[in-house]
Amino acid sequence: MNNIRPNIGDPLIELSTPSLLIDVPAMDHNFEVIAQTYAGKICKMRQHAKNIKSPIIMQRQIDAGGTLNGVCAAKVAEAEVMVEGGIRDILVTSEVSSQSKLRRLASLAKIADIKLCVDNPKNLEQVSQIAVDAGSEIGILIEVDTSMGRAGVRSPEDGVLLAKKATELKGVRFMGVMSHQTVEGWADRETRFTEGRRYIEICLEVKKAIEDAGIPVEMVSSGETFTFDVAPEIEGVTEVEGGTYALMSVTNGYMEDFEIAAKVMATVLDVRDEYGFIDAGLQCLGGPMGVKPSVEGHPDMEFVRMDASESCLRSSGPFPFEPGDRLFLLSAQQDILVNRWDSFVAVNGNTVEAVWDIPARGCHH
């Protein structure tokens, strides 16, 4: 990990680079949007820890309002970090098949309200047995594939079979259904609402089938950042799994209610004509499948190449920075970015306000 850590009160200009910054007012603005959107609604936000990986920040949204006081976690280890950080209501949104991880989850369920998604009857039996052995109870949500072709049941009938099984087994408690979905490209408001509704309705069809079979469904966990304002308008949805909205990324810039709050500050190492070389590369920025960040305030600037520890940029004219100048990079894939850092430097204006560890970074397990 980085052996240089800033102090509260340090001026921004004195930070070592590259540094991962959070613009605190921008993030708080995003949290306030959620608080206002969900005020007085049955449906609430369940913020996703996979994006932020820091219980201190997750708690900040809970304190701001609009949530159900719980969070999502992508992995068991991430759930452990959230519980250790004081959050007591966790939905693990990925299936878990390993015995040792399920044992960890069952132990966690003794001190926190743990829910897990499943899409397979054998897996459900496994969860049940391990929870019984541990003397705990795990809430069960059936994952529904609505559009992405990923995990999840493919039909209402499969959902009903799993729900019935969950009501019959010990150590588990059937709670409802959940789904993930995405929208491709730059989506306008109409597209978001049309596509979002269509996907969520698929999840609700499974809910209805389960209820028609006589099994009560108390939770429908669906939606994400792009449907943060769509899902609460759909009857039956009880919570939204949003994550990206907190820090945002340039690829989600069509979500105009939110501001980009995460930036990487980098230093220009060298300049030649229209080319500039900076001290931030793939390892600190991430570039999955060729996705590249943007330079704040310089839409004409492009990444020619990202190397392990530095990058080459090209401007449409002479490179507008000198060696030693600082510039700010905006991520195109925010949770991949955050997963490469051990701490956020929280800044307000030009001053360090806090340094927040990212304890769930690298929690792959």
Partner 1 sequence: MERPVFKPLGSSLYDLDTPSLFVIRDRILTNTKAYRSQVCEMGKRLTPNASIHRTPSLCRLLNQNEVYVNTVSEALEFSNVISGRITIGRAFQPSQLATILAISRIVPIRVVASSENQICEMESLVHGKTENVSFVLRVSGLPEQRGTPLKDLNGKQEFISGYLVSDIGVEDSITFLSDICPQLSLSGLPVIVESTEYLKPDALDVDFDELVEGLHPFKGGPDFSVGVIAAVVSTPESGKAFLDCGQKAISTDGGVPTVADSKSLAIERMSAEHGYLVWKPGEASIGLGDTFILEPASISDTFNLYDYLNIVEGEILVGLLDIQCRGSYS
Provide, rounded to whole angstroms, the least separation between the CB of residue 293 and partner 1. Answer: 12
Q: What one-letter code names the amino acid at 211?
A: E
Q: For tokens 């995003």, name the residue.
A: 30
Nearer to partner 1, 39 or 111 (CB): 111
Min CB(120)–partner 1 separation in Å:
6
**From CA 62, how far away is CA 116, in angstroms rounded?**
21
Calculate Rg over the CA atoms of the chain.
22
In this structure, the chain runs to a length of 365
Residue 78 Cβ, how far from partner 1 at the closest point, in Å? Answer: 9
CB of 305 to partner 1, least distance (A): 6
Query: Of the two residues 234 and 268, which places its CB atom closer to partner 1 in the complex?
Result: 268
Number of H helices, E strands in the chain: 10, 17
Q: How far is the CB of 61 from partner 1 (least distance, A)?
A: 20
Of the pair 288, 317, the CB lying nearest partner 1 is at 288
What contacts 50, CB < 8 A, 6 or more positions away?
72, 73, 74, 78, 93, 243, 335
Whole-number minimum distance, CB 346 to partner 1, in Å? 18
> Looking at beta carbons only, is 28 or 125 nearer to partner 1?
125
- Location of structure tokens 């992995």: 75
User: Minimal CA–CA distance to 241: which of 60, 51, 47?
Assistant: 47
Q: Strands 302-306 and 294-295: what pairing?
A: unpaired
- In the bound state with partner 1, the residue whose beta carbon lies nearer, of 18 and 236, is 18
Residue 130 CA to residue 135 CA, distance in Å, equals 9
- Interstrand relation of 113-118 and 89-92 (parallel, antiparallel or unpaired): parallel
Least Å distance, CB 258 to partner 1, is 19
Nearest CB to partner 1, comparing residues 238 and 339 = 339
Q: Which is nearer to partner 1, 37 or 283 (CB)?
A: 283
Question: How far apart (Å, rounded) are the C-alpha atoms in residues 41 and 238?
Answer: 9
**What is the smallest separation between the CB atom of 199 and partner 1, expressed in angstroms?**
16
The neighbour count for residue 283, using CB atoms within 10 Å, is: 14
Q: Which is nearer to partner 1, 40 or 288 (CB)?
A: 288
Which DSSP category does 288 fall into?
G
Q: 10 Å Cβ neighbour count for 90? A: 28
- Residue 2's H or E segment, with its range, is none
